[in-house]
Amino acid sequence: MYVLYLDDSGSAKNLREDYFVLGGVCIPEGSLRWISFEIEKLAVRIEPNNPRAVEFHAAEIFSGKTYPWTRYNERKDRIDIIKSVLRILRGAYREVVTFASAVHKESFPGEDPVLLAFEDISSRFNFLLDRRGEDRGHGNHGMIVLDKTSYEDSLQNLAATCRAEGNRWGGQLRNISEVPLFVDSRASRIVQLADHIAYAVFRYYNADDMAYFNCIAGRFDENDGIIHGLSHLQRHLPKCTCPACLSRRQNALA
């Protein structure tokens, strides 16, 4: 069983932002406890007496306006904390991979970027499960866990439709065992990690800021030279050189 934890970054309705990002991390069940423990150790370093009071939310850490981040007066120190959360992935097994879908909102007028990103990323997750099942000679199953959102009903309905009838690309999510589950991010360290991954990708596409993206650039699901775990959904840059677009264009020319 593989679990894909997802969170979002950016606002679907904020006209000042060009992108909406859904992103997170796919973890085999055997690694769930280790990753949670590593993030918890970081919380203990920040607040030894009450680590459960520490919620790692990248945008809040960066702003430094809420406890305990108000204690870090230097922006550099808060940036280092965000990077420390992302760098936990460096010690994980290679089976632990990241996913993200960055939607350029103006490229898809009339479409909800949240639903578009979820349909895209769930299809890519299903493709990973297919590949890993073939490698082992037996089926693989997955589950998707997201932070609580007002889109809960819409995403569950979309997932059920994709499983039964297929998505817009014709694929059915046969390897995903259930409709997505929603949890409070305060109760899940791995959802907090997913928040940081989504934030890193959002900053890369929306602000040309690679400071966080570089921490996870080598972790996206990849197969035969194509980065499947990172998707740049856009129609305005035909020669985009981001890792997602470039890997697909180079493969097409090979």
Tell me: the pLDDT tens digits for 82-131? 999 999 999 999 999 999 999 999 999 999 999 999 999 999 999 999 99
Task: Look at 153 and 61; give whichever has higher pLDDT.
Answer: 61
Q: Span 218-225, mean pLDDT?
A: 95
113: Cα separation from own chain's centroid: 15
In CATH terms, is domain 2-253 a member of 3.30.420? yes
The span from the CA of 53 to the CA of 29, in Å, is: 26
Cα 180 to Cα 161: distance, rounded to the nearest angstrom: 12
Q: Which residue has the higher pLDDT, 74 or 159?
A: 74
pLDDT at 254: 41
Please give the angle made by the CA atoms of 186, 80 and 241, to the nearest 5 degrees.
Answer: 95
Q: Answer yes or no: are the C-beta atoms of 74 and 6 closer than 8 Å.
A: no
Token pair of 183, please?
A: 């949890």
Rounded percentage of the chain residues whose pLDDT exceeds 90: 79
Q: Rounded distance, CA 81 to CA 187, Å? A: 19
Q: Using omega within 30 degrees of 0 as the cis cutoff, is the peptide bond preceding 68 cis?
A: yes
With contact defined as beta carbons under 8 Å apart, do 124 and 117 qualify?
no
Residues 140-181 pLDDT 10s: 789 999 998 877 888 888 777 776 666 676 566 678 887 788
pLDDT band (50, 70, 90) for residue 230: very high
pTM of the predicted model as reported, rounded to 2 decimal places: 0.94
pLDDT of 74 reads 97
What is the pLDDT of the chain when averaged over all its residues?
Answer: 91
Share of the chain above pLDDT 70, in %: 92
